[in-house]
Structure 1
Amino acid sequence: MIYVFVGPTLPAEQARQELDAVFLPPAAQGDVYRAAREHPEAIGLIDGYFERLPAVWHKEILWAMSEGIHVYGGASMGALRAVELAPFGMRGVGATFEAFLHGDLEDDDEVAVMHAPEEEGFRPLSEAMVNIRATLAAAERARVIRGDTRQALERMAKGLYYPERGYPHLLAQAAHQGVPSPELERLRAWLPQGRVNQKREDALAMLRTMSAELTRRPGPKKVSYWLSRTDAWEAACRLREP
């Protein structure tokens, strides 16, 4: 059995085309622990809550791996946790993971989005900063915008609160701040076909990596650390018992 937590980054019906797994909603604190209690072969973390619900706890991932479960992360919350826990054996996949791992990105808000509720399929309501960066870089490579315009647009997008990030808002702000209108019009016309969804690409890469690696039957995960069962950990586990 394999569990994967996914939401606004990639619709579950698309994810099922890449990996035979049980797809769960975005993970909050305790959800990885509860999934690990079912003794799956692997757990994949793509999307997770971080603001209105407590985020996935590092220790629940460490505990899962110490129980022999392979844990993968990428694209969003999964990329953040994979970078933090890579030294302990969590498997990170994708360009976003690599950018955080090498220090090119540092802020959690790079992957944050607002999204619709579960009954609406967790539809994203804003654009992730990592997607905007990838899209603007692609536009520069395609000679739609100049390098200095890309940098200016990146700064403007980064200055927005994450729920407000989106191309219509960004282009309107850029026009107000004097970015040359011919470039903005070229970008506006190019975006429907040219925009890059980096988080989606990373999520697909993670699922494909899981499929390829788990098909080889790697056996239980082996770790080199000893997990301290502190009073706080034991209390947290009791709170999350079914």
Structure 2
Amino acid sequence: MRQEADSRPPSAAADVAAFLQKARETPPDPGRSGRLVFALDATMSRQPTWDQACHIQAEMFREAGQISGLEIKLVYFRGFGECRASRWFKDGQELAAVMSRISCQGGRTQIGKVLTAALKAASDDKIAALVYVGDCMEENVDVLCDKAGQLGMLGVPVFLFQEGRDGVAERAFREIARLTNGAFCRFDAGAAQQLADLLKAVAVFASGGRPALQQLERQGGRGATLLLSQLPPGG
């Protein structure tokens, strides 16, 4: 059962600022640049955001492709124990076509399997980061944190984006971000463009670092502008 949201006041601006600060502190590893694991909760409550994600990931490919290229492995879970990991995609339209054939199904979260898939990708293929988009957490948080700690030791940051204000999920997501030297950021259902801008900036940063972000900013990328404002000169 999903937990009630906590009663603390909204702090979306603070979340974004903290996210950008953590991104500044985790420069991309050249040996892993350009590869992201893009993980999504595909349970029934996620259908609207799943539809948005199909569009957002195409934008991620397009922006990163203009600079250094991007490869994405899609991981999603839904239904009764179903969790799947795709091959690596180099083309946004191809991945979007695959995602458009996936329907959301009711079920509990399987974030542990997402972290396991990221660990395997980090071991087999080398990855720049794991990006996760979800709204709740219905698992043993200590087990998740153990897997997150393993990712942290491998130098793989986890960037977590939470829709809504489920307090249990927020506490777990923040701890996973801390253990991996990643970042946490909330967004609301009406903030799809902000999510897209930040995800594009993360993808470009993972692919090419500060020079890539500067090019994205010159092209009008708002997420790049926000990220660059947190970077020190020459960082």
TM-score (norm 2): 0.40
TM-score (norm 1): 0.39
Identify which of structures 1 and 2 has the higher relative contact order when contacts are C-alpha pairs closer than 8 Å and 6+ apart. Answer: 2
Structure ID, larger Rg:
1
